[in-house]
């Protein structure tokens, strides 16, 4: 039988974002969208059709876009500021720092096509630094949902949160991992699989790969705990400390540089509270070559089999 017959259906998290935003706008006239000539890539076409006066397209002017978002928030609106993550964050970091984070403006920053989703367009379009740039800023929760269900829950949560946040969304298809009706809780990890020999931690597009790696480890007689860390800041310290104490080894994987992102956030907690062997998987401090996101993740050792091998090697150091 062809393996693809039993393959899970994959979903684009941008669709869940767009559908949820449209519903929120229907319920709340203060919801507005701001984008950088990215109506298509941000999936805002439906929003524009339904609420043309509430979509502001500033063109390719990301710094101005963030400022417009801050102004709208100061005027009592609820802006979702959307753009390709490498440009929303990289080009606008000063404005995000001063106008959003320092001012504690009620702006929801939405980084679209994060990680290496624009793989074929090369390093200028890869967004493998955005965790590091955003998680260092005070007042700015950093969130990377693992599937369409968590994306919808996080977008809805953001509308109720009184303050700024950064939502990091990919365009790479991922399967459903969480149950319908899941409620997002800031700073809380989701336990996806029990295990006592090693803990696998991921978020975003890497979460389902971690689950596949855990299945491979089970076949090898190794029990892997799998945790989904949608919130990078504030990080769930209790879950990390428990994982360190109860499994004695931690592997992280992320569609990001190994410097400054999820792995670094976990390592900071581990070294301060419960030192155990760790392995951080990600882009190892280089510019990723040109290629599809799936190819690049495999190239940097994040195929499920490679993750399982890394975990097994780490266990030997316990």
| pLDDT single digits (tens) 244-295 | 999 999 999 999 999 999 999 999 999 999 999 999 999 999 999 999 999 9
Rounded CA separation 30/149 (Å): 24
**Residue keyed to tokens 């390719």:** 60
**For the residues 227-234, what does the mean pLDDT come to?**
98
Query: In the chain, which segments carry CATH 3.40.50.920?
Result: 190-316
Residue 2: per-residue pLDDT: 42
Q: Is there a contact between 295 and 135 (Cβ–Cβ < 8 Å)?
A: no
Closest C-alpha among 254, 252, 307 to residue 276:
252
Give this prediction's pTM.
0.96
Rounded CA separation 318/314 (Å): 7
Residue 88: per-residue pLDDT: 97
**CATH number for the domain running over 190-316:** 3.40.50.920
Rounded CA separation 202/144 (Å): 10
| Residue 55: other Cβ atoms inside 10 A | 20
Residue 227, SS3 per DSSP: strand
Closest C-alpha among 109, 144, 135, 118 to residue 254:
144
- 281-284 long-range contacts, Cβ below 8 Å, gap at least 24? 281/251, 281/252, 281/253, 281/254, 281/307, 281/310, 282/128, 282/252, 282/253, 282/254, 282/255, 282/256, 282/257, 282/258, 283/116, 283/128, 283/256, 283/257, 283/258, 284/257, 284/258
Residue 3: per-residue pLDDT: 43
The two structure tokens encoding residue 250: 């931690």
**For the residues 131-158, what does the mean pLDDT come to?**
98
Taking each helix axis from N to C end, the angle separating 207-219 and 304-315, rounded to the nearest 10 degrees, works out to 60
**What CATH architecture does domain 11-174 belong to?**
3-Layer(aba) Sandwich (3.40)
Residue 7: per-residue pLDDT: 82
Sheet holding 165-168, edge to edge: 55-57, 31-35, 78-84, 108-112, 165-168, 142-143, 231-233
Query: For the segment 35-47, what is each residue's pLDDT rounded down to a tens digit?
Result: 999 898 899 999 9
Rounded CA separation 183/168 (Å): 18
């Amino acid at each position: 039988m062809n393996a693809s017959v039993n393959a899970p259906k994959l979903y684009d998290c941008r669709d869940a974002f767009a559908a949820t935003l449209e519903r929120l706008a229907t319920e709340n006239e203060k919801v507005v969208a701001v984008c950088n000539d990215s109506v298509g890539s941000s999936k805002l076409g439906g929003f524009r059709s339904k609420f043309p006066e509430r979509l502001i397209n500033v063109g390719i002017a990301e710094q101005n876009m963030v400022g417009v978002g801050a102004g709208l928030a100061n005027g009592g609106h609820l802006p979702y500021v959307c753009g390709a993550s490498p440009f929303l964050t990289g080009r606008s970091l000063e404005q995000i720092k001063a106008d959003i984070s320092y001012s504690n403006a009620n702006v929801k920053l939405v980084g679209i096509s994060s990680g290496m989703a624009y793989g074929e367009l090369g390093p200028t379009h890869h967004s493998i630094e955005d965790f590091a740039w955003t998680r260092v800023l005070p007042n700015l929760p950093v969130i990377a949902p693992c599937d369409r269900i968590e994306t919808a829950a996080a977008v809805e949560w953001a509308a109720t949160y009184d303050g700024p946040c950064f939502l990091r969304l990919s365009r790479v298809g991922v399967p459903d991992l969480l149950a319908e009706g899941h409620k997002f809780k800031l700073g809380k990890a989701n336990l996806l699989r029990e295990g006592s020999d090693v803990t696998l931690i991921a978020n975003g597009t890497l979460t389902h790969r971690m689950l596949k790696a855990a299945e491979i480890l089970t076949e090898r007689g190794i029990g892997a705990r799998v945790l989904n860390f949608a919130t990078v800041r504030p990080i769930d310290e209790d879950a990390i400390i428990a994982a360190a104490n109860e499994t004695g080894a931690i592997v992280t994987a992320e569609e990001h540089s190994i410097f400054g992102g999820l792995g670094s956030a976990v390592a900071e907690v581990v070294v301060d509270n419960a030192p155990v062997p760790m392995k951080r998987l990600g882009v190892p401090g280089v510019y990723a070559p040109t290629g599809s996101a799936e190819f690049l993740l495999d190239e940097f050792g994040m195929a499920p089999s490679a993750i399982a091998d890394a975990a097994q090697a780490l266990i030997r150091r316990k």
